Amino acid sequence: MKMKLSILLFIVVMFMFVGCNKADDSINSTESNSTAQTPTSSKESSTTQTSIDYSIFSEPESAYAAFIRNLFSGDEDPKNLYERDYLDYYDSDDKWNTMEFYFVLKDLDNDGTSELVIMTNWMNVAVYTYSDGLMKIGSRNFASGTTRLFFSDNPAYPGIFFFFVGGGLEHYGYISIKDNQFIYEDLWNEDYSGFFVERDGRNRIEELSNDKELIEESRIVYRENNDIDWMVHTVRATTP
């Protein structure tokens, strides 16, 4: 519990790096609303002046903070977090050039180092870790209007559980990290409309994994609404 609180506290502090003045230790901090199931909603922001003791951060925390600061300041192109196939689509209409970023720190493989998880516009998930430098482990574009991501309270399952709707099915799965490899697993799906049950004679629920305990945990996090408590920030993806 103390680790979770310290991680959440750091995320709040990390937000204070946005728009910082590199010439001194004085920066502008923006209070941002964290959400569970409705990440697009946010409170009005207020700005305060404060100073940061940079020595309190570990190497990974400092690297993540710098990356996010550059992302929000425009030094790092936020479109890089998208799959290449979607870039032309987002460039074609100016209204898509405003992107919402959701981010959180979580140790996804129980190795003692937290990973940085970034979700852009509630579709693309990117995972970064720190090992002698910042490294992107992998990403997944759900391209679905209905996507939810969960953390489990069970330490045996430190990864990201997901739910999304696509192809007439509700999909449930798990993203984990092993040896700095991004592992995406489909666990089970449900034919909520009954279309494929009637057409193909399939079962309404089909399990795709042999790990019964992992499947059960995915049901638990969904049932208990253990949605990730994201920090939220909105930026422009391109310069007019």
Decide: 19 and 73 in contact? Cβ < 8 Å.
Answer: yes
160-166 sheet: strands from edge to edge: 147-150, 160-166, 169-178, 181-190, 205-207
pTM for this structure?
Answer: 0.71
Query: Given a cut of 70, is residue 15 above it in pLDDT?
Result: no
CB-facing half-sphere around the CA of 98: CA atoms within 13 A: 4
For 98-114, how does the pLDDT look when each residue is reduced to its tens digit (9 = 90+)? Answer: 667 788 999 999 999 99
Mean pLDDT in residue range 195-211: 96
The length of the chain, given as a count of residues: 240
Highest mean pLDDT among 17-31, 66-80, 118-132, 215-229 belongs to: 215-229
Helices H / strands E in the chain, number of each? 5, 12
Per-position b or e across 151-171, b if 16+ CB within 10 A of its CB: bbeeeebbbbbbbbbeeebbb
Question: Where does 33-146 show beta strands of DSSP type E?
Answer: 47-51, 98-106, 115-120, 124-130, 134-141
Selection from 147, 133, 136, 151 nearest residue 182 by Cα = 136
Query: Which pLDDT band, with edges at 50, 70 and 90, does 16 fall under?
Result: very low
Mean pLDDT in residue range 201-205: 96
What residues does 231 pair with on adjacent strands?
A: 103
Q: Output the average pLDDT for the chain.
A: 73
Query: Given a cut of 80, is residue 145 above it in pLDDT?
Result: no
Question: Which pLDDT does position 62 carry in this prediction?
Answer: 83
Query: Which pLDDT band, with edges at 50, 70 and 90, does 123 fall under?
Result: confident
Selected residue with higher pLDDT from 119 and 30: 119
Query: Which pLDDT band, with edges at 50, 70 and 90, does 237 fall under?
Result: low
Mean pLDDT in residue range 153-170: 95
Of 73-87, 180-194, 207-221, least confident by mean pLDDT is 73-87
Give the DSSP letter of residue 229: -
Question: Which pLDDT does position 85 carry in this prediction?
Answer: 36
